[in-house]
Structure 1
């Protein structure tokens, strides 16, 4: 299994498990006279998806909890980015694995005050899959195509690509192509019943429609990006939590890096560990063929591919799913890069959209 097609980051991460000194994420101090209570737990959100495998492995192998030490880890499973962002904004969770577009949206809507991306997690693993009889973009006229949620990363990617192909879409669902935001499991059923013509989805749902429902890939999103690199999942932390507890966020990062390293080094064992974690989270596992295919299409990396985010903003604006605003300051990669430097690994760039040194 080609588990990391374009892995550029992990060359020397073994030392990360040895315990580094705490590294401040932001350097922000509490307001004068304000007492910050010691944190006793970290509340972490994630999705039960293959594209969130660093979370699945980090939890099931105990890597994140080990890094946190005496700080307890509480987790919550989300089905969509909007729900995770709502919980983060309300202070119900402290950090979450999430797609890039919801991260962009909360940052813009809050004027940069809500959260920061502190690491990447997954690249790749999204595609437009369609029924028999649709073989070219021209065949999509008057079709119905599903996405996971209005304004989510795959929804924006589909609308942007359709616009490039000369199609008009609407957030109301009408247009030359009917884009219908639909929960992923329902999308599979609707496709099997012939009620939709295709879907732009993340893994493992791409592979489920291909293996279980006879769909074929019309567009692999990797083909639309330079070198095939585009972010699917990032690690987002609530700004207030990071400001008040940088040392705890640093420990969370250590566990996250250890999880991505584990995936890089244990390709043969990874499918069974991921499936067991999915079973724990949802009570269901994936077919072996589905999981194997899904893993071939993703790369796990701490690099958030920050250079792609201006393009993602442009796509969201063109799709009508995003407000105008600046993403300057979206990234804070200083703690991540300090850890990478300490282990001798290659550092990553914020592409001018935040701090990385």
Structure 2
């Protein structure tokens, strides 16, 4: 009898546990964020990657002004600087990075290569990319036989250039050279390259420091002039294990953007100081002003444009098939931060599960 009674107690306990698990599962589905288990806690350390570019201003400001640290509390923030997206993706896939500010193209590639284990969690910057060329080049047709630089093979600007050339019937008629941004400036000055499709501040540096002309501002190719130049992505495992840490990073980025919007002059100074520390040089006031005029700091990931970005990678020849982006994004943590700030939620646009 004791055995039977114990069995009944065990069955009742298991049923209650199953019901509790079901309720947790419902909550997870509603927020699209993995529910925190009782043993989950803020991470002891979070490893954050970003670039020394004006198009990564929220990261530069967030680190320099300690906005991230203020929200992270006891979690240690370790940062690593990259020149282009593909290198950063390698670090994420190699489990040596947890969260990254990155271009939209490499973000999609990271999701694809990781088989869905890297996800988009927020926007950071819209705009800030231009095709700048020698002054004598005034049309797409005149690019035939010319040498145009992009930061890295398969990075956001590389995809944009290749797609644009294809649409202008210039595929295989323009040489494309992948160079680190500082090397592009030097190569343009010496005449080794005829221009570049570049993020800020490098487009502005070629224009103001080396005499280049703007052949195309990428804003002109997108509805309303808005497109996701820089976004935030995370390893899904890290998000599942440390959702509070991810929310803290997003709150830090939100604070950095709000501060930069309210203190534009000081924000430029902070970015310039960061560039000096990370890249060894500063920008002139004119270059800084021009670079900031071309960007919008925003948490909005502009999700509606990602299906087109996925198609662009195929058009550019970077990948063979259009990626299915369902499950690419998890805006649960972002929408919690936005709600707390009294701001509208980010639209799913078919990117979430």
2:15 equivalent in structure 1: none
CA drift of 1:331 comes to 1.0
* Equivalent-residue separation in structure 1 for 2:243 and 2:124 (angstroms): 20
Residue 210 of structure 2, aligned match among 213, 228, 243: 213
Residues 159-195 of structure 1, C-alpha deviations (whole Å, 9 max, x = no match): 1111111111xxxxxx211111111111111111112
Instruction: Sort the Cα spacing of 1:133 and 1:83 in 2 relative to 1 into closer, same or farther, 3 A.
Output: same
2:133 equivalent in structure 1: 130
RMSD: 1.7
* Equivalent-residue separation in structure 1 for 2:90 and 2:348 (angstroms): 25
TM-score (norm 2): 0.88
CA drift of 1:27 comes to 2.3
Q: Superposition pairs for residues 195-234 of structure 1, below 5 Å?
A: 195-234=192-231
* Equivalent-residue separation in structure 1 for 2:84 and 2:223 (angstroms): 27
The reply to whether residue 59 of structure 1 matches residue 37 of structure 2 is no
Q: Superposition pairs for residues 309-324 of structure 1, below 5 Å?
A: 309-324=306-321
Which entry has the higher C-alpha Rg, 1 or 2?
A: 2
1:242 equivalent in structure 2: 239
1:256 equivalent in structure 2: 253
Q: Which has the higher contact order (CA 8 A, sep 6+)?
A: 1
Q: Is the 8 A contact 1:25 1:247 kept in 2?
A: no
* Equivalent-residue separation in structure 1 for 2:315 and 2:62 (angstroms): 36
Residues 239-261 of structure 1, C-alpha deviations (whole Å, 9 max, x = no match): 11001111111111111111111
1:10 equivalent in structure 2: none
* Equivalent-residue separation in structure 2 for 1:315 and 1:210 (angstroms): 27
Q: Is the 8 A contact 1:109 1:323 kept in 2?
A: no
- Uncovered stretches (5+) of structure 1, i.e. residues with no partner: 1-23, 169-174
Q: Is the 8 A contact 1:67 1:255 kept in 2?
A: yes
2:50 equivalent in structure 1: 46
Residue 265 of structure 1, aligned match among 255, 262, 266: 262
Instruction: Sort the Cα spacing of 1:25 and 1:280 in 2 relative to 1 into closer, same or farther, 3 A.
Output: farther
CA drift of 1:38 comes to 5.9
Secondary structure of residue in 2 paired with 1:354: coil
- Uncovered stretches (5+) of structure 2, i.e. residues with no partner: 1-30
Q: Is the 8 A contact 2:99 2:235 kept in 1?
A: yes
Aligned pair count reads 323
* Equivalent-residue separation in structure 2 for 1:56 and 1:342 (angstroms): 24
Q: Is the 8 A contact 1:145 1:200 kept in 2?
A: yes
TM-score (norm 1): 0.87
Secondary structure of residue in 2 paired with 1:332: coil
1:329 equivalent in structure 2: 327
Secondary structure of residue in 2 paired with 1:328: coil
* Equivalent-residue separation in structure 1 for 2:293 and 2:168 (angstroms): 28
CA drift of 1:305 comes to 0.7
Q: Is the 8 A contact 2:34 2:239 kept in 1?
A: no
CA drift of 1:350 comes to 2.4
* Equivalent-residue separation in structure 1 for 2:42 and 2:277 (angstroms): 30
Instruction: Sort the Cα spacing of 1:37 and 1:332 in 2 relative to 1 into closer, same or farther, 3 A.
Output: closer
